[in-house]
Chains A and B, each alone.
With several copies, the nearest count.
Chain A
Amino acid sequence: MQKLINDPRAFAEEMLEGVLLAHGDALRVAADPRAVVRADAPVRGKVAIATGGGSGHLPLFLGYVGRGLADGAAVGNVFASPSADEMLAVTKAVDGGAGVLYLFGNYGGDTMNFGLAAELAAGEGIEVATLRAADDVASAPRGEEPRRRGIAGIFFLYKIAGACAERGDSLASVKATTERAAANLRSIGVALGSCTVPAAGRPTFELPRGKMEIGMGIHGEPGVRRGLLRRADAVADELVDALLADLPHAAGDRVDVLVNGLGATPPEELYVVYRRAHARLRDAGLTVRRAWVGEYATSLEMAGASISLLRVDDELAALLDAPAASPFFTRR
Protein backbone atom coordinates (compact mmCIF):
# COMPACT_ATOMS: atom_id res chain seq x y z
CA MET A 1 0.00 0.00 0.00
CA GLN A 2 1.44 3.36 -1.04
CA LYS A 3 0.03 5.04 2.04
CA LEU A 4 1.36 7.38 4.69
CA ILE A 5 0.02 5.43 7.65
CA ASN A 6 1.19 3.68 10.77
CA ASP A 7 -0.77 0.71 12.15
CA PRO A 8 -3.70 0.35 9.72
CA ARG A 9 -5.96 -0.49 12.63
CA ALA A 10 -5.19 2.86 14.25
CA PHE A 11 -5.77 4.85 11.06
CA ALA A 12 -9.04 6.55 11.98
CA GLU A 13 -7.82 7.18 15.53
CA GLU A 14 -4.59 8.81 14.43
CA MET A 15 -6.30 10.81 11.70
CA LEU A 16 -8.65 12.15 14.34
CA GLU A 17 -5.80 13.00 16.70
CA GLY A 18 -4.16 14.92 13.88
CA VAL A 19 -7.34 16.83 13.11
CA LEU A 20 -7.78 17.80 16.73
CA LEU A 21 -4.15 18.84 17.10
CA ALA A 22 -4.40 20.91 13.94
CA HIS A 23 -7.78 22.48 14.61
CA GLY A 24 -8.16 22.59 18.34
CA ASP A 25 -9.44 26.14 18.10
CA ALA A 26 -12.46 25.02 16.11
CA LEU A 27 -13.16 21.45 17.14
CA ARG A 28 -13.18 19.40 20.33
CA VAL A 29 -14.16 15.90 21.35
CA ALA A 30 -17.19 15.39 23.52
CA ALA A 31 -17.58 12.61 26.10
CA ASP A 32 -16.50 10.02 23.53
CA PRO A 33 -13.21 10.24 21.58
CA ARG A 34 -15.11 9.56 18.35
CA ALA A 35 -17.59 12.37 19.00
CA VAL A 36 -16.29 15.59 17.43
CA VAL A 37 -18.18 18.82 17.95
CA ARG A 38 -17.75 22.53 17.39
CA ALA A 39 -15.48 23.97 20.04
CA ASP A 40 -18.34 26.24 21.13
CA ALA A 41 -21.00 23.53 21.25
CA PRO A 42 -23.74 23.54 22.39
CA VAL A 43 -25.05 26.77 20.93
CA ARG A 44 -27.94 27.66 23.23
CA GLY A 45 -31.28 28.04 21.51
CA LYS A 46 -30.04 26.97 18.10
CA VAL A 47 -31.16 23.80 16.39
CA ALA A 48 -28.12 21.52 16.19
CA ILE A 49 -27.15 19.46 13.16
CA ALA A 50 -25.52 16.13 13.98
CA THR A 51 -23.92 13.90 11.43
CA GLY A 52 -21.45 11.08 11.12
CA GLY A 53 -20.32 8.14 9.07
CA GLY A 54 -17.31 6.12 8.15
CA SER A 55 -13.84 7.59 7.76
CA GLY A 56 -12.09 7.85 4.43
CA HIS A 57 -14.35 10.51 2.94
CA LEU A 58 -12.81 13.77 4.18
CA PRO A 59 -13.96 16.50 4.19
CA LEU A 60 -17.04 14.34 4.74
CA PHE A 61 -18.24 14.08 7.56
CA LEU A 62 -16.18 15.69 10.23
CA GLY A 63 -15.00 18.43 7.89
CA TYR A 64 -18.45 19.92 7.81
CA VAL A 65 -18.54 20.57 11.54
CA GLY A 66 -18.41 24.33 11.86
CA ARG A 67 -20.37 27.53 11.92
CA GLY A 68 -23.24 27.56 9.45
CA LEU A 69 -22.77 23.83 8.93
CA ALA A 70 -23.09 20.83 11.24
CA ASP A 71 -22.51 21.05 14.99
CA GLY A 72 -20.96 17.65 15.46
CA ALA A 73 -20.02 14.37 13.82
CA ALA A 74 -19.52 10.82 14.99
CA VAL A 75 -16.44 9.34 13.35
CA GLY A 76 -16.42 5.68 12.32
CA ASN A 77 -13.62 3.49 11.09
CA VAL A 78 -12.85 3.51 7.37
CA PHE A 79 -16.09 2.93 5.47
CA ALA A 80 -17.83 1.77 8.67
CA SER A 81 -20.58 3.47 10.63
CA PRO A 82 -19.81 4.92 14.03
CA SER A 83 -21.74 3.40 16.93
CA ALA A 84 -25.02 4.57 18.38
CA ASP A 85 -23.17 5.40 21.60
CA GLU A 86 -20.84 7.71 19.72
CA MET A 87 -23.78 9.33 17.97
CA LEU A 88 -25.51 9.78 21.30
CA ALA A 89 -22.42 11.45 22.69
CA VAL A 90 -22.48 13.91 19.78
CA THR A 91 -26.19 14.47 20.26
CA LYS A 92 -25.86 15.32 23.92
CA ALA A 93 -22.89 17.61 23.31
CA VAL A 94 -24.53 19.64 20.55
CA ASP A 95 -28.09 19.90 21.82
CA GLY A 96 -28.70 23.53 22.66
CA GLY A 97 -32.27 22.96 23.75
CA ALA A 98 -33.87 23.51 20.36
CA GLY A 99 -33.57 19.96 19.12
CA VAL A 100 -31.16 18.05 16.93
CA LEU A 101 -31.39 17.17 13.24
CA TYR A 102 -29.63 13.96 12.26
CA LEU A 103 -28.37 14.43 8.74
CA PHE A 104 -26.35 11.59 7.24
CA GLY A 105 -26.00 9.33 4.22
CA ASN A 106 -28.40 6.50 3.54
CA TYR A 107 -26.33 3.42 4.41
CA GLY A 108 -27.34 0.38 6.44
CA GLY A 109 -25.03 0.76 9.41
CA ASP A 110 -25.52 4.51 9.72
CA THR A 111 -29.28 4.25 9.44
CA MET A 112 -29.53 1.55 12.09
CA ASN A 113 -27.17 3.27 14.50
CA PHE A 114 -28.63 6.76 14.11
CA GLY A 115 -32.02 5.13 14.58
CA LEU A 116 -30.90 3.62 17.86
CA ALA A 117 -29.21 6.86 18.91
CA ALA A 118 -32.44 8.75 18.24
CA GLU A 119 -34.29 6.40 20.56
CA LEU A 120 -31.64 6.78 23.23
CA ALA A 121 -31.67 10.57 22.83
CA ALA A 122 -35.46 10.66 23.11
CA GLY A 123 -35.05 8.71 26.32
CA GLU A 124 -32.89 11.55 27.59
CA GLY A 125 -35.43 14.15 26.58
CA ILE A 126 -33.70 15.42 23.45
CA GLU A 127 -35.91 16.08 20.45
CA VAL A 128 -34.42 14.49 17.33
CA ALA A 129 -35.49 14.66 13.71
CA THR A 130 -33.82 12.61 10.98
CA LEU A 131 -33.02 13.25 7.32
CA ARG A 132 -30.97 10.93 5.14
CA ALA A 133 -29.17 12.04 1.99
CA ALA A 134 -30.10 9.68 -0.84
CA ASP A 135 -28.91 11.62 -3.85
CA ASP A 136 -27.12 8.91 -5.86
CA VAL A 137 -29.41 8.16 -8.81
CA ALA A 138 -27.23 5.22 -9.81
CA SER A 139 -27.85 3.32 -6.60
CA ALA A 140 -31.53 2.53 -7.18
CA PRO A 141 -33.99 3.23 -9.97
CA ARG A 142 -36.80 5.76 -9.93
CA GLY A 143 -39.66 4.56 -7.83
CA GLU A 144 -37.19 3.13 -5.32
CA GLU A 145 -35.69 6.44 -4.21
CA PRO A 146 -35.68 5.56 -0.50
CA ARG A 147 -33.13 2.85 -1.24
CA ARG A 148 -30.70 5.29 -2.83
CA ARG A 149 -27.34 5.98 -1.22
CA GLY A 150 -26.11 9.37 -0.16
CA ILE A 151 -23.02 10.78 -1.86
CA ALA A 152 -21.39 14.18 -2.37
CA GLY A 153 -24.68 16.07 -2.71
CA ILE A 154 -25.01 15.89 1.07
CA PHE A 155 -22.67 18.88 1.13
CA PHE A 156 -25.52 21.07 -0.13
CA LEU A 157 -27.76 19.71 2.61
CA TYR A 158 -25.24 20.56 5.34
CA LYS A 159 -24.91 24.02 3.90
CA ILE A 160 -28.66 24.56 3.83
CA ALA A 161 -29.51 22.94 7.15
CA GLY A 162 -26.64 24.75 8.82
CA ALA A 163 -27.70 28.12 7.45
CA CYS A 164 -31.33 27.52 8.48
CA ALA A 165 -30.26 26.62 11.99
CA GLU A 166 -27.92 29.60 12.17
CA ARG A 167 -30.71 32.04 11.32
CA GLY A 168 -32.85 30.60 14.10
CA ASP A 169 -35.31 28.31 12.34
CA SER A 170 -37.15 25.70 14.42
CA LEU A 171 -36.25 22.02 14.15
CA ALA A 172 -39.34 21.33 12.06
CA SER A 173 -38.52 24.19 9.76
CA VAL A 174 -34.84 23.29 9.38
CA LYS A 175 -35.91 19.80 8.46
CA ALA A 176 -38.62 20.94 6.05
CA THR A 177 -36.31 23.32 4.18
CA THR A 178 -33.53 20.76 3.99
CA GLU A 179 -36.03 18.16 2.78
CA ARG A 180 -37.08 20.54 0.03
CA ALA A 181 -33.45 20.77 -1.01
CA ALA A 182 -33.04 16.98 -0.84
CA ALA A 183 -36.06 16.54 -3.09
CA ASN A 184 -34.36 18.74 -5.68
CA LEU A 185 -30.93 17.13 -5.41
CA ARG A 186 -29.43 14.41 -7.61
CA SER A 187 -25.89 13.02 -7.93
CA ILE A 188 -24.02 10.43 -9.91
CA GLY A 189 -20.37 9.42 -10.02
CA VAL A 190 -17.82 7.75 -12.23
CA ALA A 191 -14.83 5.77 -11.00
CA LEU A 192 -11.52 5.54 -12.86
CA GLY A 193 -9.48 3.79 -10.23
CA SER A 194 -9.81 1.85 -7.00
CA CYS A 195 -8.97 2.48 -3.37
CA THR A 196 -7.58 0.37 -0.57
CA VAL A 197 -9.09 0.18 2.92
CA PRO A 198 -5.90 0.33 5.04
CA ALA A 199 -6.79 -2.60 7.28
CA ALA A 200 -7.87 -4.72 4.31
CA GLY A 201 -4.60 -4.08 2.51
CA ARG A 202 -5.81 -4.71 -1.01
CA PRO A 203 -7.81 -2.62 -3.50
CA THR A 204 -11.55 -2.97 -2.99
CA PHE A 205 -12.07 -3.50 -6.71
CA GLU A 206 -10.07 -3.75 -9.90
CA LEU A 207 -10.77 -1.41 -12.75
CA PRO A 208 -8.57 -2.26 -15.74
CA ARG A 209 -6.67 0.58 -17.39
CA GLY A 210 -8.76 2.16 -20.10
CA LYS A 211 -12.02 1.37 -18.32
CA MET A 212 -14.41 3.41 -16.20
CA GLU A 213 -17.49 2.58 -14.17
CA ILE A 214 -20.47 4.91 -14.22
CA GLY A 215 -22.47 5.02 -11.02
CA MET A 216 -19.99 3.26 -8.79
CA GLY A 217 -20.63 3.90 -5.10
CA ILE A 218 -18.26 5.82 -2.88
CA HIS A 219 -17.10 2.58 -1.26
CA GLY A 220 -16.75 0.76 -4.56
CA GLU A 221 -20.27 -0.61 -4.72
CA PRO A 222 -21.10 -1.76 -8.26
CA GLY A 223 -22.42 0.90 -10.62
CA VAL A 224 -24.73 0.88 -13.61
CA ARG A 225 -22.30 0.58 -16.50
CA ARG A 226 -18.68 -0.40 -16.95
CA GLY A 227 -17.11 0.44 -20.26
CA LEU A 228 -14.27 2.05 -22.12
CA LEU A 229 -13.01 5.23 -20.53
CA ARG A 230 -14.30 7.92 -22.84
CA ARG A 231 -13.36 11.55 -23.32
CA ALA A 232 -14.20 13.87 -20.46
CA ASP A 233 -16.88 15.57 -22.56
CA ALA A 234 -18.65 12.28 -23.23
CA VAL A 235 -18.43 11.30 -19.57
CA ALA A 236 -19.79 14.67 -18.45
CA ASP A 237 -22.65 14.35 -20.92
CA GLU A 238 -23.52 10.88 -19.68
CA LEU A 239 -23.53 11.99 -16.06
CA VAL A 240 -25.48 15.19 -16.65
CA ASP A 241 -28.02 13.39 -18.82
CA ALA A 242 -28.57 10.77 -16.12
CA LEU A 243 -29.22 13.54 -13.60
CA LEU A 244 -31.57 15.46 -15.87
CA ALA A 245 -33.51 12.30 -16.63
CA ASP A 246 -34.15 11.91 -12.92
CA LEU A 247 -34.56 15.46 -11.67
CA PRO A 248 -37.83 17.12 -12.63
CA HIS A 249 -36.99 20.46 -14.20
CA ALA A 250 -38.19 23.07 -16.64
CA ALA A 251 -36.38 25.46 -18.94
CA GLY A 252 -35.26 28.51 -17.04
CA ASP A 253 -34.70 26.65 -13.76
CA ARG A 254 -31.58 27.55 -11.83
CA VAL A 255 -29.21 24.91 -10.49
CA ASP A 256 -26.15 24.80 -8.31
CA VAL A 257 -23.61 22.32 -9.64
CA LEU A 258 -21.05 20.40 -7.64
CA VAL A 259 -18.23 18.64 -9.48
CA ASN A 260 -16.61 16.55 -6.79
CA GLY A 261 -13.29 14.73 -6.92
CA LEU A 262 -13.17 11.24 -5.41
CA GLY A 263 -9.55 11.52 -4.31
CA ALA A 264 -6.83 10.95 -6.89
CA THR A 265 -8.36 12.95 -9.73
CA PRO A 266 -6.68 16.38 -9.97
CA PRO A 267 -8.70 19.61 -9.74
CA GLU A 268 -7.67 20.40 -13.32
CA GLU A 269 -9.67 17.40 -14.56
CA LEU A 270 -12.67 18.41 -12.47
CA TYR A 271 -12.68 21.75 -14.26
CA VAL A 272 -12.47 20.05 -17.66
CA VAL A 273 -15.55 18.09 -16.61
CA TYR A 274 -17.26 21.20 -15.29
CA ARG A 275 -16.62 23.00 -18.57
CA ARG A 276 -18.71 20.46 -20.44
CA ALA A 277 -21.34 20.02 -17.73
CA HIS A 278 -21.93 23.76 -17.80
CA ALA A 279 -22.49 23.71 -21.56
CA ARG A 280 -24.73 20.66 -21.38
CA LEU A 281 -26.92 22.24 -18.70
CA ARG A 282 -27.15 25.46 -20.64
CA ASP A 283 -28.21 23.50 -23.71
CA ALA A 284 -30.91 21.89 -21.58
CA GLY A 285 -32.25 25.34 -20.79
CA LEU A 286 -30.90 25.48 -17.24
CA THR A 287 -28.90 28.28 -15.67
CA VAL A 288 -25.98 27.48 -13.42
CA ARG A 289 -26.39 29.75 -10.44
CA ARG A 290 -23.17 28.76 -8.70
CA ALA A 291 -20.51 26.13 -9.39
CA TRP A 292 -18.73 24.22 -6.64
CA VAL A 293 -15.69 22.32 -7.83
CA GLY A 294 -13.23 20.40 -5.68
CA GLU A 295 -13.04 17.58 -3.18
CA TYR A 296 -16.21 17.67 -1.10
CA ALA A 297 -16.63 13.93 -0.44
CA THR A 298 -13.81 11.55 -1.24
CA SER A 299 -13.21 7.82 -1.19
CA LEU A 300 -9.63 7.58 0.00
CA GLU A 301 -7.48 7.59 -3.15
CA MET A 302 -10.18 6.54 -5.58
CA ALA A 303 -9.86 8.17 -9.01
CA GLY A 304 -12.98 9.66 -10.52
CA ALA A 305 -15.58 12.32 -9.96
CA SER A 306 -19.23 12.88 -9.25
CA ILE A 307 -21.62 15.56 -10.37
CA SER A 308 -24.44 16.83 -8.18
CA LEU A 309 -27.27 19.08 -9.29
CA LEU A 310 -29.42 21.06 -6.89
CA ARG A 311 -32.39 22.91 -8.29
CA VAL A 312 -32.59 26.13 -6.28
CA ASP A 313 -35.20 28.71 -5.47
CA ASP A 314 -34.45 32.13 -3.98
CA GLU A 315 -34.48 30.89 -0.40
CA LEU A 316 -32.18 27.93 -1.08
CA ALA A 317 -29.84 30.23 -3.00
CA ALA A 318 -29.58 32.60 -0.06
CA LEU A 319 -28.92 29.71 2.32
CA LEU A 320 -26.20 28.33 0.04
CA ASP A 321 -24.53 31.74 -0.06
CA ALA A 322 -24.70 32.30 3.70
CA PRO A 323 -21.35 32.40 5.48
CA ALA A 324 -19.96 29.17 6.85
CA ALA A 325 -16.66 28.16 8.37
CA SER A 326 -15.08 24.89 9.34
CA PRO A 327 -11.42 23.88 9.21
CA PHE A 328 -12.22 22.23 5.87
CA PHE A 329 -14.71 24.56 4.25
CA THR A 330 -15.10 28.30 4.41
CA ARG A 331 -17.54 30.55 2.66
CA ARG A 332 -17.70 34.24 3.42
Chain B
Amino acid sequence: MSALAEGVAAVAARVRASADELNRLDAVAGDGDLGVTMTIAASAVDALVPSLANEPLAAVLVTCGGALARRAPSTGGTLLASALLRAGRRAAELRALDGAAAAELLEAAAAAIAERGGAQPGSKTILDALVPAARAARAAAATSTDLATVLADAADAARHGAEATKMMRPRFGRAGWLADRSTGHEDAGARLAAIVLAAIRDAVATA
Protein backbone atom coordinates (compact mmCIF):
# COMPACT_ATOMS: atom_id res chain seq x y z
CA MET B 1 0.00 0.00 0.00
CA SER B 2 1.25 3.51 -0.77
CA ALA B 3 1.80 6.00 2.02
CA LEU B 4 -1.08 8.00 0.59
CA ALA B 5 -3.48 5.09 0.69
CA GLU B 6 -2.32 4.28 4.18
CA GLY B 7 -2.98 7.84 5.17
CA VAL B 8 -6.49 7.64 3.81
CA ALA B 9 -7.12 4.50 5.84
CA ALA B 10 -5.73 6.17 8.95
CA VAL B 11 -7.98 9.19 8.53
CA ALA B 12 -10.97 6.93 8.01
CA ALA B 13 -10.11 5.01 11.18
CA ARG B 14 -9.85 8.21 13.20
CA VAL B 15 -13.21 9.42 11.91
CA ARG B 16 -14.82 6.10 12.73
CA ALA B 17 -13.44 6.20 16.25
CA SER B 18 -15.03 9.62 16.73
CA ALA B 19 -18.49 8.55 15.67
CA ASP B 20 -20.04 8.70 19.12
CA GLU B 21 -18.67 12.13 19.84
CA LEU B 22 -19.89 13.42 16.48
CA ASN B 23 -23.37 12.00 17.06
CA ARG B 24 -23.49 13.62 20.45
CA LEU B 25 -22.42 17.02 19.20
CA ASP B 26 -24.77 16.87 16.22
CA ALA B 27 -27.63 16.03 18.59
CA VAL B 28 -27.26 19.36 20.38
CA ALA B 29 -28.61 21.48 17.54
CA GLY B 30 -29.11 18.91 14.78
CA ASP B 31 -30.32 15.36 14.42
CA GLY B 32 -27.55 13.43 16.10
CA ASP B 33 -26.36 11.47 13.09
CA LEU B 34 -23.10 12.99 11.89
CA GLY B 35 -21.16 10.10 13.41
CA VAL B 36 -23.48 7.61 11.76
CA THR B 37 -23.03 9.25 8.38
CA MET B 38 -19.28 9.57 8.78
CA THR B 39 -18.99 5.91 9.78
CA ILE B 40 -20.68 5.02 6.52
CA ALA B 41 -18.34 7.41 4.72
CA ALA B 42 -15.31 5.86 6.41
CA SER B 43 -16.42 2.38 5.38
CA ALA B 44 -16.99 3.51 1.81
CA VAL B 45 -13.53 5.07 1.72
CA ASP B 46 -11.97 2.00 3.33
CA ALA B 47 -13.40 -0.17 0.61
CA LEU B 48 -11.62 2.02 -1.92
CA VAL B 49 -8.22 2.02 -0.23
CA PRO B 50 -6.83 -0.96 -2.16
CA SER B 51 -7.69 0.72 -5.45
CA LEU B 52 -5.91 3.91 -4.41
CA ALA B 53 -2.54 2.24 -3.95
CA ASN B 54 -0.83 3.81 -6.93
CA GLU B 55 -2.98 6.85 -7.48
CA PRO B 56 -1.82 10.44 -7.20
CA LEU B 57 -3.32 12.76 -4.60
CA ALA B 58 -5.70 14.39 -7.08
CA ALA B 59 -7.26 11.07 -7.99
CA VAL B 60 -7.42 9.99 -4.36
CA LEU B 61 -9.28 13.15 -3.34
CA VAL B 62 -11.70 12.94 -6.24
CA THR B 63 -12.35 9.27 -5.60
CA CYS B 64 -12.99 9.86 -1.91
CA GLY B 65 -15.18 12.86 -2.69
CA GLY B 66 -17.23 10.76 -5.08
CA ALA B 67 -17.62 8.04 -2.47
CA LEU B 68 -18.90 10.55 0.04
CA ALA B 69 -21.29 12.11 -2.44
CA ARG B 70 -22.76 8.72 -3.25
CA ARG B 71 -22.69 7.01 0.12
CA ALA B 72 -22.91 9.78 2.70
CA PRO B 73 -25.09 12.44 1.10
CA SER B 74 -26.20 14.17 4.31
CA THR B 75 -25.65 17.90 4.65
CA GLY B 76 -22.23 17.46 6.19
CA GLY B 77 -21.30 14.57 3.91
CA THR B 78 -22.31 16.42 0.77
CA LEU B 79 -20.37 19.52 1.78
CA LEU B 80 -17.34 17.42 2.56
CA ALA B 81 -17.70 15.69 -0.79
CA SER B 82 -17.72 19.05 -2.53
CA ALA B 83 -14.63 20.03 -0.60
CA LEU B 84 -12.77 16.87 -1.58
CA LEU B 85 -13.81 17.10 -5.22
CA ARG B 86 -12.74 20.74 -5.47
CA ALA B 87 -9.45 20.04 -3.67
CA GLY B 88 -8.87 17.09 -5.97
CA ARG B 89 -9.31 19.24 -9.05
CA ARG B 90 -6.95 21.81 -7.56
CA ALA B 91 -4.41 19.11 -6.68
CA ALA B 92 -4.22 18.10 -10.31
CA GLU B 93 -2.86 21.55 -11.09
CA LEU B 94 -0.15 21.53 -8.41
CA ARG B 95 3.40 20.56 -9.15
CA ALA B 96 4.65 19.71 -5.68
CA LEU B 97 2.96 18.45 -2.55
CA ASP B 98 4.56 20.92 -0.19
CA GLY B 99 3.36 23.35 2.47
CA ALA B 100 2.03 25.84 -0.06
CA ALA B 101 0.12 23.05 -1.76
CA ALA B 102 -1.56 22.18 1.51
CA ALA B 103 -2.67 25.79 1.89
CA GLU B 104 -4.02 25.77 -1.67
CA LEU B 105 -6.01 22.61 -1.07
CA LEU B 106 -7.47 23.81 2.21
CA GLU B 107 -8.51 27.07 0.60
CA ALA B 108 -10.14 25.19 -2.24
CA ALA B 109 -11.99 22.98 0.23
CA ALA B 110 -13.25 25.90 2.29
CA ALA B 111 -14.32 27.79 -0.82
CA ALA B 112 -16.26 24.81 -2.12
CA ILE B 113 -18.15 24.44 1.14
CA ALA B 114 -18.90 28.14 1.39
CA GLU B 115 -20.23 28.17 -2.15
CA ARG B 116 -22.23 25.00 -1.84
CA GLY B 117 -23.71 25.68 1.59
CA GLY B 118 -24.04 29.45 1.31
CA ALA B 119 -22.79 29.99 4.88
CA GLN B 120 -20.15 32.36 6.20
CA PRO B 121 -17.65 31.80 9.00
CA GLY B 122 -19.19 32.75 12.34
CA SER B 123 -22.45 30.85 11.88
CA LYS B 124 -21.23 27.76 13.72
CA THR B 125 -20.45 25.38 10.89
CA ILE B 126 -17.60 23.33 9.57
CA LEU B 127 -16.32 26.54 8.00
CA ASP B 128 -15.35 27.81 11.42
CA ALA B 129 -12.67 25.13 11.58
CA LEU B 130 -11.78 24.97 7.92
CA VAL B 131 -11.36 28.67 7.17
CA PRO B 132 -8.94 29.29 10.08
CA ALA B 133 -7.08 26.12 9.10
CA ALA B 134 -6.64 27.36 5.54
CA ARG B 135 -5.55 30.76 6.83
CA ALA B 136 -3.02 29.23 9.22
CA ALA B 137 -1.70 26.99 6.47
CA ARG B 138 -1.20 29.98 4.19
CA ALA B 139 0.65 31.84 6.95
CA ALA B 140 2.85 28.86 7.77
CA ALA B 141 3.61 28.27 4.10
CA ALA B 142 5.01 31.78 3.89
CA THR B 143 7.86 30.78 6.21
CA SER B 144 8.13 27.02 5.61
CA THR B 145 7.80 24.71 2.65
CA ASP B 146 7.56 21.67 4.90
CA LEU B 147 4.23 19.91 4.51
CA ALA B 148 4.26 18.50 8.04
CA THR B 149 4.93 21.92 9.58
CA VAL B 150 2.15 23.57 7.64
CA LEU B 151 -0.31 20.78 8.43
CA ALA B 152 0.53 21.00 12.10
CA ASP B 153 -0.41 24.68 12.14
CA ALA B 154 -3.54 24.00 10.12
CA ALA B 155 -4.65 21.23 12.45
CA ASP B 156 -4.05 23.47 15.46
CA ALA B 157 -6.06 26.25 13.93
CA ALA B 158 -8.87 23.85 13.09
CA ARG B 159 -8.97 22.66 16.66
CA HIS B 160 -9.05 26.20 18.01
CA GLY B 161 -11.64 27.15 15.43
CA ALA B 162 -13.82 24.24 16.43
CA GLU B 163 -13.47 25.16 20.09
CA ALA B 164 -14.44 28.73 19.30
CA THR B 165 -17.74 27.53 17.88
CA LYS B 166 -18.77 26.73 21.44
CA MET B 167 -19.69 30.35 21.99
CA MET B 168 -21.26 30.89 18.57
CA ARG B 169 -24.97 31.02 17.84
CA PRO B 170 -25.93 28.36 15.31
CA ARG B 171 -26.76 29.02 11.71
CA PHE B 172 -30.48 28.71 12.21
CA GLY B 173 -30.73 30.48 15.53
CA ARG B 174 -32.13 33.83 16.48
CA ALA B 175 -32.25 35.68 19.76
CA GLY B 176 -34.39 33.96 22.35
CA TRP B 177 -34.86 30.76 20.38
CA LEU B 178 -33.90 27.46 21.84
CA ALA B 179 -31.14 27.19 19.27
CA ASP B 180 -29.15 29.04 21.92
CA ARG B 181 -29.11 25.79 23.80
CA SER B 182 -26.05 24.87 21.74
CA THR B 183 -23.99 27.51 23.52
CA GLY B 184 -21.07 25.74 25.18
CA HIS B 185 -21.04 22.92 22.65
CA GLU B 186 -18.83 22.68 19.58
CA ASP B 187 -20.41 22.42 16.18
CA ALA B 188 -20.26 18.83 15.04
CA GLY B 189 -19.03 19.62 11.54
CA ALA B 190 -16.30 21.89 12.86
CA ARG B 191 -15.20 19.16 15.21
CA LEU B 192 -15.14 16.72 12.31
CA ALA B 193 -12.89 19.05 10.34
CA ALA B 194 -10.53 19.31 13.32
CA ILE B 195 -10.45 15.53 13.67
CA VAL B 196 -9.75 15.01 9.97
CA LEU B 197 -6.98 17.60 9.87
CA ALA B 198 -5.33 16.18 12.98
CA ALA B 199 -5.49 12.73 11.41
CA ILE B 200 -3.93 14.01 8.18
CA ARG B 201 -1.21 15.79 10.14
CA ASP B 202 -0.40 12.61 12.06
CA ALA B 203 -0.46 10.47 8.93
CA VAL B 204 1.98 12.78 7.18
CA ALA B 205 4.22 12.99 10.25
CA THR B 206 4.50 9.21 10.55
CA ALA B 207 4.73 8.51 6.80
Task: State which of B73, B174, B178, B181 has its C-beta within 8 Å of the C-beta of A80.
Answer: B73
Given the known interface contacts A81-B78, A140-B172, the answer about A222 and B29 at a Cβ–Cβ threshold of 8 Å is yes
- Complex CA gap A78/B31 in Å reads 10
Check: A318 CB closer than 8 A to any chain B CB.
no
Scoring B residues 130 to 145 as 1 if CB is less than 8 Å from chain A, else 0, what string do you get?
0000000000000000
Main secondary structure of the interface of A (DSSP, over half): loop
B residues in contact with A21, CB < 8 Å: none
Q: Is the CB of B40 within 8 A of A109?
A: no
Q: Which residues of A contact B23 (CB under 8 A)?
A: 197, 200, 202
Contact call A223/B178, Cβ cutoff below 8 A: yes
Q: Which residues of B contact A108 (CB under 8 A)?
A: 75, 78-79, 117
Contact yes or no, A109 B74, CB < 8 A: yes
Point out the residue from A83, A107, A221, A226 that lies within 8 Å of B29, measured CB to CB. A221
Q: Is the CB of B117 within 8 A of A221?
A: no
Question: In the complex, A156 Cα to B178 Cα: how many Å?
Answer: 28
A161 CB within 8 Å of chain B: no
List which B118-172 residues lie within 8 A (CB) of chain A.
Answer: 172
B182 within 8 A of A: yes
Q: Are A200 and B32 in contact (CB under 8 A)?
A: yes
Residue pairs across A and B with CB atoms within 8 Å: the count is: 106
* A166 CA / B116 CA spacing, docked (Å): 35
Q: Binary interface profile of B, 45-81, with partner A (CB < 8 Å = 1, else 0)?
A: 0000000000000000000000001111111111100
Known A-B contacts A222-B177, A225-B178; the reply to A82 vs B36 at CB < 8 A is no
Contact, CB under 8 Å: B177 / A224: yes
Which A-chain residue is minimally distant from B24 (CB atoms)? A202
Q: Is the CB of A213 within 8 A of B73?
A: no
> Does B35 sit at the interface, judged by CB under 8 A?
yes
Q: B65-103 interface mask toward A, CB cutoff 8 Å, 1 = contact, 0 = none?
A: 000011111111111001000000000000000000000
In whole angstroms, how far apart are the Cα atoms of A244 and B73 in the complex?
Answer: 36
Contact of A197 among B32, B69, B181 (CB under 8 A): B32
B interface vs A, CB < 8 Å? 23, 27, 29-33, 35-37, 39-40, 69-79, 82, 116-117, 172-174, 177-179, 181-182
